[in-house]
């Protein structure tokens, strides 16, 4: 089995593995029942569940595509010139704004990558540049829609930053000498969840929106990535690599999804081990009622 992909600390636009089969699934967090929404012989990634619960957004070949609940394509979202979108995309809490990370080819040769963050209406339109600097990879938006949080490389270090949704001066929130990634707001706006390699293992953390009170949440033998808080604020779901991947989250590894109940901090497996990784659950993918989750599994011939 020969795979063609690039391994970077964060998501980049990359050549898809050959002969890959991608499966969009949902899972009921109470019963564990998994439902296949769409299975196709192509590479797609990172499902967002729409805020009204009527469709999913995935990225494939640099474009964003809407998928109906019946698995049928509803067409690409018009992102105008932004035709190199990576798998860091999502919607505002009110569902009116789409945030994308577009690999801007005007910045070829930029250290760490060319991704910059743009916003546009959820139904599509001309993207507005928010982060002048690159690379910047979006992951979260505040419940009031006023602030974006993202992973960015500045002066050779990947840390978490925030910026007003309309653009402006960015603020550095973490400064650990390691990769900090995947920031996402809790639905009440009190915390930002993220993952960090600061201990030499990838674990989950949370902090206040100003970067204070950084607190470690996981401490086990696994590599844990991308903590996504449920809309009701009771859970976080995250992807776990069975084998240590250092500060990477590559495609094509043995992974599983796990749930943490925030009240008790107890963790339980949501799925058995499957073939996935990069692209499985990079972005917020909870159903609006917090009962289900969307994710992608893969198979390579």
Residue 6 has pLDDT above 60, yes or no: no
Percent of the chain past pLDDT 90, that is, above it, reads 90
Distance of CA 77 to the CA centre of its chain: 18
Q: How far apart are CA 89 and CA 100, in angstroms?
A: 4
Vertex 36: Cα angle to 32 and 41 (nearest 5): 140
Q: What is the pTM of this model?
A: 0.94
pLDDT of residue 122: 98
Instruction: Give the chain's mean pLDDT.
Output: 94
- C-beta of residue 294 within 8 angstroms of C-beta of residue 282: no
Q: Read off the pLDDT of residues 32-46 as tens digits, 9 standing for 90 and up.
A: 999 999 999 999 999
Fold adopted by 21-300 = Neuraminidase (2.120.10)
Q: For the residues 81-101, what does the mean pLDDT come to?
A: 98
pLDDT of residue 15: 54
Residue 2 has pLDDT above 60, yes or no: no
Q: Read off the pLDDT of residues 235-270 as tens digits, 9 standing for 90 and up.
A: 999 999 999 999 999 999 999 999 999 999 999 999
CB-CB neighbours of 255 under 10 Å:
27
Residue tagged 């690159």 (tokens) = 134
- C-beta of residue 178 within 8 angstroms of C-beta of residue 9: no
**pLDDT band for position 109 (50/70/90)?**
confident
Bridge-partner residues for 207, per DSSP?
A: 192
Q: How far apart are CA 164 and CA 274, in angstroms?
A: 38
What b/e sequence results for 62-86 when a residue is b if at least 16 CB atoms lie within 10 Å of its CB, and e otherwise?
Answer: ebbbbbeeeeeeeeebebeebebbb
Residues 6+ positions from 109 with CB-CB distance below 8 Å = none
Residues 6+ positions from 267 with CB-CB distance below 8 Å = 218, 258, 259, 260
């Amino acid at each position: 089995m020969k795979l063609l992909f690039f391994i970077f600390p964060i998501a980049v636009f990359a050549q898809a593995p050959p002969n890959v089969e991608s499966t969009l699934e949902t899972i009921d967090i109470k019963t564990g029942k998994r439902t296949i929404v769409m299975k196709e012989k192509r590479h797609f990634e990172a499902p967002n569940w729409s805020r009204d619960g009527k469709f999913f957004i995935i990225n494939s070949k640099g474009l964003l595509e809407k998928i109906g609940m019946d698995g049928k394509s509803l067409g690409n979202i018009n992102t105008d010139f932004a035709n190199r979108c990576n798998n860091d995309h999502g919607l505002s809490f009110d569902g009116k704004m789409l945030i994308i990370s577009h690999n801007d080819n005007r910045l070829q040769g930029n250290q760490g990558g060319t991704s910059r963050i743009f916003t546009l209406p959820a139904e599509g339109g001309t993207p507005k540049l928010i982060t002048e600097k690159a690379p910047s990879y979006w992951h979260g938006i505040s419940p009031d829609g006023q602030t974006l949080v993202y992973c960015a490389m500045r002066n050779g270090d990947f840390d978490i930053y925030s910026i007003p949704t309309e653009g402006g001066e960015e603020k550095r929130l973490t400064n650990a000498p390691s990769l900090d990634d995947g920031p996402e707001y809790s639905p009440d706006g009190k915390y930002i969840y993220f993952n960090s390699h600061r201990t030499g293992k990838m674990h989950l953390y949370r902090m206040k929106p100003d970067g204070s009170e950084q607190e470690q949440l996981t401490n086990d033998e696994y590599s844990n990535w991308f903590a996504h808080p449920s809309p009701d604020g009771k859970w976080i779901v995250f992807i776990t690599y069975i084998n240590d991947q250092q500060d990477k989250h590559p495609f094509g590894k043995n992974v599983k999804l796990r749930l943490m109940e925030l009240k008790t901090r107890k963790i339980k497996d949501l799925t058995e081990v499957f073939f996935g990784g990069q692209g499985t659950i990079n972005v917020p993918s909870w159903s609006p009622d917090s009962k289900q989750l969307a994710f992608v599994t893969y198979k390579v011939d």
